[in-house]
Amino acid sequence: MLSKPQLMDFGVKLKKVPLYCDNTNAMNLTKNPIQHSKTKHIEIKHHFIRDHVQKEDSEIQFVKTENQLADLFTKPLA
Q: 2-60 pLDDT, tens per residue? A: 667 787 888 888 888 888 888 887 787 777 766 666 666 677 777 788 888 888 888 88
Residue 66 lies in a domain: yes
What pTM did the predictor assign?
0.60
Residue 3 lies in a domain: no
Instruction: List, in order, residues 6 or more apart from 74 with CB less than 8 Å away.
Output: none
Residue 71 scores a pLDDT above 70 = no
Residue 72 scores a pLDDT above 70 = no
More confident: 68 or 78? 68
Residue 56 lies in a domain: yes
Q: Exposed e or buried b for every residue in 8-22, given b needs 16+ CB within 10 A?
A: eeeeeeeeebebebe
Split into its structural domains, the chain has a count of: 1
> Cα(first)–Cα(last) distance of the chain, in Å?
29
Residue 1: per-residue pLDDT: 56
Residue 4 lies in a domain: no
Residue 22 lies in a domain: yes
Domain encompassing residue 16: 12-74
Residue 54 lies in a domain: yes
Residue 63 lies in a domain: yes
For 24-63, where are the alpha helices, taking DSSP H only? 24-31, 44-54
Residue 5 lies in a domain: no
pLDDT band of 77, cuts 50, 70, 90 = low
